[in-house]
Chain A
Amino acid sequence: DAKTTQPPSMDCAEGRAANLPCNHSTISGNEYVYWYRQIHSQGPQYIIHGLKNNETNEMASLIITEDRKSSTLILPHATLRDTAVYYCIVRGHYNSGYALNFGKGTSLLVTP
């Protein structure tokens, strides 16, 4: 699976958009980009995923560059409850029963 690089931490003011970047320059054609988040002392929560097209759901939007080497998770109106560690994961090949390989993620702090 391709490796991902994320900033270790970010701040965002409540009510503003939070834009979380992720680099995955070695991604291959059949690998998907997944985003999860983990609120303190809870299990990780699925947010969104995509292959090449931009995706949007009730939680967030995912913007993938045309060359697919990077992506951005957008939380359009961040709230205090969005404070969490956000993980960008690239998954393609069968490995470990399709388990997800979590890196260190980005710790997002939403401030009042």
Chain B
Amino acid sequence: QVQLQQWGARLLKPSETLSLTCGVNGGSFNGYYWSWIRQPPGKGLEWIGEINHSRSTNYNPSLKSRVTISIHTSKNQFSLKLTSVTAADTAVYYCARGNGSGSPRGIHFDYWGQGTLVPVSS
């Protein structure tokens, strides 16, 4: 059974950098897209970006200038960094496994982390 366990900084101040890591237990680490998705309180889902084991990345154009997703295959972990946060970045952040065909078009999220609420407040 695949499990995603995420951890990282919680309360942030504006202009700080958000850092989260997601550890993957069970199943292969290769052959998937490892993704980050967020959900502001009371709002819908927003895709942040993803990386595969070859370190190929795709990012949400609206966040691309502030986002870095990296992968640590030896540890079965991947990480998210979001710079210069503001109150608008307050959200529950989820890591997820993207599964499907080799093309990003055919990817669905079949396993999710538990979610981490990251408030941004001065």
Q: Is the pairing of A and B real?
A: no
B residues near A, CB below 8 A? none
A residues near B, CB below 8 A? none
